[in-house]
Amino acid sequence: MTQEDTIFSKIIRKEIPSYKVYEDELVYAFLDISQVTKGHTLVVPKQATTNILTADSETASAVFARVPKIARAIQEAFPDVKGMNVLSNAEEIASQSVFHWHVHLIPRYHKNNDGF
Ligand code: 5GP
């Protein structure tokens, strides 16, 4: 499978539906299909790269520059958000399952709970 064939490339090309949170010419952000907590969002570069270990600095800059804005948009949509985990899994050994780089934004609502 090439990087362009991942499910996320199909989502970016709108061949597969997703719930859009944010989009511009470089980045697409959408709700994770499996919500760890309410508002769990994935931030994805449109330019496919496998993960943070392969991303060039231009792509990394584009993604990380937008993360605070997208995180605050989630908080505005869900005002009971108290905090957020921001993480990215790289390679199977670190639990990566889709090999198109993405950053998870996982809102937190209460201590030790699932946020629903
Ligand atoms: P990873 O395990 O690679 O860090 O995260 C991949 C994430 O992509 C998972 O949390 C999974 O739920 C999500 N995911 C996989 N397939 C789809 C899909 O078709 N649509 C959406 N919105 N999320 C997906």
Asked if 102 is an active-site residue, the reply is: yes
Q: Select from 32, 91, 96 the residue to mutate for testing ligand 1; criterion: most ligand atoms less than 8 Å from CB.
A: 32
CATH for 3-108?
Answer: 3.30.428.10
Q: How many CB atoms are located within 10 Å of the residue 69 CB? A: 10
Q: Which of 103, 63, 111, 104 is nearest to 83 (CA)?
A: 111
Q: Whose CA is nearest to atom 17 of ligand 1?
A: 33
pLDDT given for residue 36 in this prediction: 95
Q: Which atom of ligand 1 is nearest to the CA of 36?
A: 10
Q: Radius of gyration (Cα) for the chain, nearest Å?
A: 14
pLDDT tens digits in sequence order for the chain, 116 residues long: 555 689 999 999 999 999 999 999 999 999 999 999 999 999 999 999 999 999 999 999 999 999 999 999 999 999 999 999 999 999 999 999 999 999 999 999 987 766 65
Q: Name the one residue in this structure whose structure tokens are 């934004």.
A: 105
Q: Which atom of ligand 1 is nearest to the CA of 97?
A: 3
